[in-house]
Each structure stands twice: as structure tokens, then as C-alpha cells.
Amino acid sequence: MENKTEILRGTLDLMVLQALEAMGPLHGYGIAQRIEQISGESLKMNQGTVYLCLVRLLQKRWIKAEWGTSENNRKARFYSISKAGQKQLIEETENWQRVSGTIGRLLRLNETR
């Protein structure tokens, strides 16, 4: 349980940024929806956790927030990625790919032996 949240903290940031980059402004529900779609059953989490991630990203100024109206005419907060966020996303993506590439190779290496 605790380990899972530890992994989440880093990856969730990346996933939220990626979602906003790909889909444009989204509200909290939309972001949660998007993440669930992509990860499917592999990442079980409370949707509320997204809001903890969002406030962190807001405070780091990687995303912006604006009040607007949702599809069902409710007051909702729409989040969009900022310039700094885009830069961060590129950096993090590269970083992630490098790490996952390395780990992938390592695991394959062990398999073949």
C-alpha cells in the first residue's frame, strides 16, 4: 500500500502533465478519467488522489487553473499545462524513457541468462 503511493507520486505527476498536454484544458474528473482509461486496471487509485497531485503541480507553476462550466453545467476548475510544465514534461519523458529503457534491458538480460 505505502509503496504503491510512493511510486505514484512521481508517475502521477508525469501522467497528469501528459494528459493536459495531449487533451488541452481538463477538469479534475476529466483528468482522472483519462488516467484510468490509459492505465486500465494496472493502476487502481481513488480518483480524489488526482487533486493532491494537481495542487502540487499548481504550486510548482507547471499547470494553470481557471474556473469554468462543465459539460453538465456545473462550476468546475479547468487545468491546463504551462510553458514550464511543457518543459518539465519533455525533461521528465526523456528521463523516464532512459530509466525504463535501462531497466528493460537489465530485465531482458536476466531473462536470457
Cβ–Cβ under 8 Å, residues 27 and 77: yes
In whole angstroms, what is the distance from residue 98 CA to residue 26 CA? 29
Q: Which is nearer to other proteins, 18 or 70 (CB)?
A: 70
Candidate ranges 18-26, 60-68, 90-98, 103-111; the one touching other proteins (CB under 8 A)? 60-68
Restricting to residues 78-97, name those near other proteins by CB under 8 A. Answer: 84, 88
Restricting to residues 2-31, name those near other proteins by CB under 8 A. Answer: 27-29
Candidate ranges 14-22, 43-51, 90-98, 104-112; the one touching other proteins (CB under 8 A)? 43-51
In whole angstroms, what is the distance from residue 94 CA to residue 88 CA? 10
Shortest Å, Cβ 112 to other proteins: 40
Q: Is 82 left (phi over 0), alpha (psi -120 to 50) or beta?
A: beta
Q: Is 80 exposed, middle or buried (0-12, 13-18, 19+ CB in 10 A)?
A: middle
Which residues contact other proteins (rule: CB under 8 A)?
27-29, 32, 46-49, 51-52, 55-56, 58-62, 70, 72, 74-77, 84, 88
